[in-house]
Structure 1
């Protein structure tokens, strides 16, 4: 095999579509070791070098690292290659699942940007999304309890803010208690025995802005709920004495957070 011709680095770009830097990297990693012209010191790639680079590209496109390609060059049985490719397939499938999950989150957040335009400080009736409660902590600022949250999430793809919903209980005298539920949003309303769910088909709904840009250090829950409850009273709605708040979007102006929160206050069904 081979016709005895050699090719310079500059020629390989037209043959293989590789850059000079890529060729130098392959050489540094020991994938190829071209001879050098004794007169002008130009690298001279022969048939076997070119074929080796094509094989390296073959496996690079199958998600193998340069180190793994180098190990293949040292020799491996078909069964060993099959096992390696099986591992690569599993890794890639997990990456795809993670990217698909992230894409869905991007779409949801983008959609919520539209929801802010329509529902900020506006009131309507809406169902609370169906959540399974998988844990709880006493408050958002109870950071010493966050190990409980970490145990219930995949930190490789899930974020903390989306795993928490703040729940308030109240009566005619005001707020009684608050806690943070650790939740898993479900796509189905099928329930399993001995599990806890949040399920309310009719809620007063609004989006409010919190954060240092809008409110400084003030807690907006009083004004937010007061206005929502006042609207509900005008509509003849009877609250169930519990409310939920979920952080859905955070932006910044003047280095201060603008936090957009969905508020759901369940009402007695009519």
Structure 2
């Protein structure tokens, strides 16, 4: 039985077919999920996202210089806010769907969306994900890094290292006219090979003109599934790797903080990427 075709790629009436149109339409006729035209960024939009990414990377570079034991996550938040606005930009998380701070700070068993506060004080051996998102002139960028506070355990260090390797492996397999599922398949294999699991309830995403766009970039799955990757698409890859089970829960008190169900540590790295005709270009580090 032929798969039902979701016709995302529509050629304007009277327009002459381009080589790109023909290629995408051929995938669409085979029943593949293809992007809509709005997901293919123009050169002007790409340049705007790239400028936003420069500020976003600058924020994380500053955090890397300043983060230390004894620092509160509220101090990180204030540093992120001050740097971002001083560069003419806006912290994207601030007031996004009610999120109260400018950055997400997720320590140890917190997977993501940790809310900065004056009570979370970084201690020797902690691992923390700092997730920064920036709006500059209406263009969005998004990235996160892991930081190890002082010396941590070999198990936590391996988790942080493997999470970064998962991101790098996802980058390598992503190619023009491949599929989102290729990325997730490669990432999950590497995590499992090292005895870790991949969070399934959260994923990467399109970004650029909005904070979250299509496609969903899951970090597990089968090759050849998910949306077709086309030059001009901008999206994040951000594998969340757990030391134990992949299951998570959301803190009922704040409605945001995602925690591992078994309360074992989690690690995550994230970049924003542009798909080009030759592969991925990193727009945020």
TM-score bucket of the superposed structures, by smaller chain? under 0.3
Question: So what's the TM-score if we normalise by structure 2?
Answer: 0.24
* Structure number with bigger Rg: 1
Greater helix share, structure number? 1
Higher relative contact order (CA 8 A, sep 6+): 2
